[in-house]
Amino acid sequence: MLTMLARPRQAAEMLKALQSLLLPLQAAPGFVSGRLYRRADDPDIICYVEEWGTQKDLDRQIRSSHYTSLLALMEKGAKQPELRLNWVTEVRGLEYLEAVRLRDR
């Protein structure tokens, strides 16, 4: 998850560049999803999210030209970007809410 602040009037350009980075990922081994968001309270704050199946898949990608391009793009924001890699060991859905709320009764 990469969070960047676009320079004034450059958000659209930055989104376009990030979008074009996402496209070829669809075919990469272990790729799960790639999404591009803007903060609701400040559309100049752009959030680029990649999800990978395993650490091996992520590492392979990090060594690729994809990340060379991504690192170059990270230089173009209005301030230091924030990169956050989350190791997710468990995923739950709506059933978790129901279980917790019922357990309490």
Residues that bind its own copies (CB under 8 A): 15, 19, 35-41, 43, 46-47, 59, 62-63, 67, 71, 82-94, 96-97, 100-101, 104
Distances (CA, A) of 70 to 15, 48, 85: 12, 10, 14
Distance in Å, CB of 27 to its own copies, minimum = 19
d(CA 6, CA 79): 8
d(CA 21, CA 1): 14
